Structure 1
């Protein structure tokens, strides 16, 4: 950096030095990087390569600072420049940047698409170090999709080129991602080992961006190990680095992690304040407008690529026709035949243009229909996302209210209300994160609901366990909300009353469709309760079960047979195929 500054003292308009120094500043001082890049763009008159580099680097700065629309525009502009000047190396770099933007927007399919395009070019250029960088990014996608073995394979495969070339920055990034992968796999000793290796290198080279990410990952690790105070210390360190750098995306992620720790500690005042800040910041960074802009640019880019291919084909056809005409003109004997050939070509051309116009019209209509469907699905997901957020806020408020109550009965009532809200929030969370927003996977939902309730009531999993059999069933939201609330009440009753004198408790939940009827069973091997006892133990909950059962046209039977068994026979429900 000192050498670059010295060059700029002698040559203030040296575009290469301006771009190189700006890129170096992206790891330490984003505002300085932006100023240098804007200066380079302003004074650049005819150097297309350096203009593309300036715009791609500025896109990276905008992306880190949360200016998604501007970053997207700059990525596409740099891609177009590098395509025009046929700079494969820089085109691979720009594709990588576009992949990183989609990754930040949680669009992992598009992110993987651009990372693979980047890696293909780098493989063709026979550049092992750059291929390894693409492999690191692809490993990130596999982490997010919980394909941890694939992630470890790509990360270990990418390490050798960085070690051979003494690229300490990339070496530290690989160690950081290895630590993250092992942390996700709950292999905490291996995770700490790689995090420590990464920290040693990052401190040595002064990588503030990397340290900000590393300390958040260490906070997550100690949070998983239930060392909450140490987790908070690492989150505080992380926030100092990312806030100084101006990295809005990572600032939001660390804030959310902080909220979860405060909630686990029972510090509900700090938890509520941080959660509110997180929701506001996250909604400002990721919203429907950004997704609309991304879709619009993706369509525009794909259309330009198709138009370029068509233009090249037309040019080839025109060159072939010209060569043929020149050949025929040399022989007057074929003038008449040539005239007939021209007429025939014109006829074919007329048919071709007519067919092309029809095809373009159909393509435009298909694009409009596809975009309308995508917009509708995005809107539905956004609605489920906002409903889930609102229900989480309500759950947090109920949790705060319960913490302030002295009366145990009132506190239990508020916590039961909180569990009901969480059961509904879980449904909207599943719909928001699913590819198909029409319905909820019942097996996955009930497993998450049971785990949440067992954790909320502090049930010892070695003493009491649960099993669910609903594989292959997917229900629409109008069915799964009342059914989820009913099962929530039945699980809560079993946890509270059934297993007090039972050495090894077991809760079984099963759903099976027979003909046009859905059979639901919730059974425990506890002390056993009949319908009257169940009703007296939780009169409000039983009334709610009865009310919701009428909505599903369900018959309820309670049997005391080596524990309590509740049978529901539903005649009004809807499955999603």
Structure 2
């Protein structure tokens, strides 16, 4: 025995749930605002009245609530904006705005998954709308309330209440939408007889207000007529759904559902090529939206087609691919998968594996398929399975129940296929009288479905639809011809423009060539000048190198000459007995060494203009310490910043430091008294510097100013300070402190020495 989709007994095929027909967009939720949120925000800012502002806030909140995707930020924005609308409604006593915000709050809670608070707010919206006589809002609240009840009858009752209230309020579009939702509810729960009149009423009401987007209603009617086995009407409405969707430019996920239903009708009519074409179109739309439920539902339909074509192994591969790429934890989806696998293994005569899936299905749907819907599809598969394993008692029980359900739904196609396998069962048991009766019933019902007037209707529908498509193609070709004519005219204009452009281009190239010749001549002259400049630069480089070499040589020789003078003075001192003369020679040697250090550093360095004072003070101080052997009683503290001075300032400062340190060593610490000499050189702002030489010795004598100002050392320090335009200051401060403040020359400024 076959199963949905229906197939002849000779051809094996996988079973398909009637739940395939559930693949519809849920029209019960609030439609997303099509207005741009930025436009809404601008309108809110410019709203002339508070009620208008409330309505705009509610529209913006609805936009974020129904925005595509599950984004927590969008729901938070919807909640925040809805709260603003409610507060403003309270402040200006706008009752309708407040009522709408209560209902919208319920929908936000539902979308967040908090069904308890959502239900409470929905009931609050009903109470508020009744109290304030807001009929349309009351209807919307009852429509929302139907979402939370599990019982179909109660859901239907709420929907019917909403329909009557919408009718009373004159809200025809919402009344038509709720009729459509109620029809969909009955269709999903396998009650096509109740669904059909509701959907027809919805369609008529939509048409009365010239509502263009009727594809959803046509799609549901196609599903209903498929359930009833009325395939001419099913195909008619499925093709109308496709035509309407394309006319209103609907490329949403609903288009996948529409293509699926067209393919499903063609499948039942055994037009495999047409079914395959539409299912693959549906499959592509579903994959573009990355919707797992749609992809898997249509994939299962394609699986049924593969098995009809005796490609059971390819069907198994497709199921495994969907399990990997589009996994689902939904119990209904898992049972669909088990249903497909059960029928595949049954058709492959792998009864051991098929029995595993049978037990799972029987546990979920019941052995008589009387639980969780899909009774007809499951019963057909159970009957086929029991016939295959020769459990005739179970088979007859299933097939009788199946015939009763199919007769109730008016589905003669399912009944005819049931009688065919019933005939086979009777024949195998030797019950030929019943076998002949059931075969006659099979032929009678089969002929009523596929022959005669209905077959003509189906062919007529296809011809009509194909004619419309051809008319569209002719119109399209005519439009393309017009476009081509316009294009030819444009091409002619472009041709003349091109010729004119070529002429202009030739003139331009001639001018460009002439300009190039002039430029080339000028470049040749510039090249000659460049070579001359390069030659001059090379000569200057050589002269600079020679100059640097000569400067280094001069510094080297000055340093050597100073060392020779120091040696001569040292030799001369060996022949003197006069203490004052020896002291004068020694002081001169120290001064010459101070100058010699500078010239030594300069000829050893790449920088011939400046000297690093931190290095210089350190070397000079070490020299003085060695000369006077002061390590035991005098400690030197150096606080000298890395400062570069030119020779004109470095030499005077070196001599000043030499004189000051010399005096400190000789006079500040008599009788081997211990002490400290501090030398500080630091920047005090911009290019201003301060040199400080201080000791904590005995200091100056009381009558120093009157008796010692004419000494050579003191005059030398003051004179050298004047030479560098510095300010010389000397005072007693817990010892002697000498301070020279001066401005650094920046003519040959450098930042670092590359020695």
Q: TM-score, normalised by structure 1?
A: 0.52
| Equivalent in the alignment of 1:11 | 166
Q: 1:114 aligned to 2:275? A: no
Residue 157 of structure 1 is aligned with which of 313, 316, 321? Answer: 321
Residue 96 of structure 1 is aligned with which of 260, 266, 269? Answer: 260
Residue 347 of structure 2 is aligned with which of 155, 172, 184? Answer: 184
Measured after TM superposition, the shift of residue 206 of structure 1 is: 7.1
Checking the alignment, whether the CA contact within 8 Å between 2:328 and 2:334 is kept in structure 1 is no
Q: 1:58 aligned to 2:213? A: no
Q: 1:133 aligned to 2:297? A: yes
Checking the alignment, whether the CA contact within 8 Å between 2:236 and 2:461 is kept in structure 1 is no
| Equivalent in the alignment of 1:286 | 450
Checking the alignment, whether the CA contact within 8 Å between 2:219 and 2:258 is kept in structure 1 is yes
Checking the alignment, whether the CA contact within 8 Å between 2:292 and 2:327 is kept in structure 1 is no
Measured after TM superposition, the shift of residue 291 of structure 1 is: 5.6
| Equivalent in the alignment of 1:213 | 377
Separation of aligned partners in 2, 1:286 and 1:209: 28
Alignment of 1:408-427 (within 5 A): none
**CA gap 1:213/1:311 in 2 versus in 1, 3 angstroms:** same
Checking the alignment, whether the CA contact within 8 Å between 1:115 and 1:137 is kept in structure 2 is yes
Q: Deviations over 1:289-325 (max 9, x none)?
A: 2563354245325414523542552454466578789
Q: 1:238 aligned to 2:402? A: yes
Q: Deviations over 1:233-285 (max 9, x none)?
A: 22123223333333332222222221111111111111111111110100110
Q: 1:195 aligned to 2:350? A: no
Separation of aligned partners in 2, 1:319 and 1:92: 37
Separation of aligned partners in 2, 1:52 and 1:241: 29
Higher relative contact order (CA 8 A, sep 6+): 2
Measured after TM superposition, the shift of residue 24 of structure 1 is: 2.4
Question: How many residues in Structure 1 have an aligned counterpart in Structure 2?
Answer: 331
Separation of aligned partners in 1, 2:370 and 2:246: 35
| Equivalent in the alignment of 1:21 | 182
Separation of aligned partners in 1, 2:281 and 2:488: 35
Q: 1:248 aligned to 2:393? A: no
Checking the alignment, whether the CA contact within 8 Å between 1:65 and 1:246 is kept in structure 2 is yes
| Equivalent in the alignment of 1:300 | 467
Alpha-carbon RMSD: 3.3
Separation of aligned partners in 1, 2:332 and 2:479: 42
**CA gap 1:9/1:328 in 2 versus in 1, 3 angstroms:** farther
Separation of aligned partners in 2, 1:225 and 1:217: 12
Separation of aligned partners in 2, 1:162 and 1:248: 36
Gap regions ≥5 residues in structure 1: 335-577
Greater Rg, structure 1 or structure 2?
A: 2
Residue 262 of structure 1 is aligned with which of 426, 447, 466? Answer: 426
Checking the alignment, whether the CA contact within 8 Å between 2:183 and 2:198 is kept in structure 1 is yes
Separation of aligned partners in 2, 1:132 and 1:32: 29
**CA gap 1:24/1:261 in 2 versus in 1, 3 angstroms:** same
Q: Deviations over 1:183-216 (max 9, x none)?
A: 0001123223223333444469976762222122
| Equivalent in the alignment of 2:195 | 33
Separation of aligned partners in 2, 1:11 and 1:158: 43
Separation of aligned partners in 2, 1:254 and 1:17: 36
Checking the alignment, whether the CA contact within 8 Å between 1:159 and 1:174 is kept in structure 2 is no
Measured after TM superposition, the shift of residue 76 of structure 1 is: 1.6
SS at match of 1:41: helix
Checking the alignment, whether the CA contact within 8 Å between 1:60 and 1:97 is kept in structure 2 is yes
SS at match of 1:48: coil
Checking the alignment, whether the CA contact within 8 Å between 1:215 and 1:238 is kept in structure 2 is yes
Alignment of 1:519-558 (within 5 A): none
Separation of aligned partners in 2, 1:21 and 1:154: 35
**CA gap 1:173/1:48 in 2 versus in 1, 3 angstroms:** farther
Checking the alignment, whether the CA contact within 8 Å between 2:342 and 2:355 is kept in structure 1 is yes
Measured after TM superposition, the shift of residue 42 of structure 1 is: 0.8
Separation of aligned partners in 1, 2:405 and 2:325: 28
Checking the alignment, whether the CA contact within 8 Å between 1:159 and 1:171 is kept in structure 2 is no
**CA gap 1:298/1:112 in 2 versus in 1, 3 angstroms:** farther
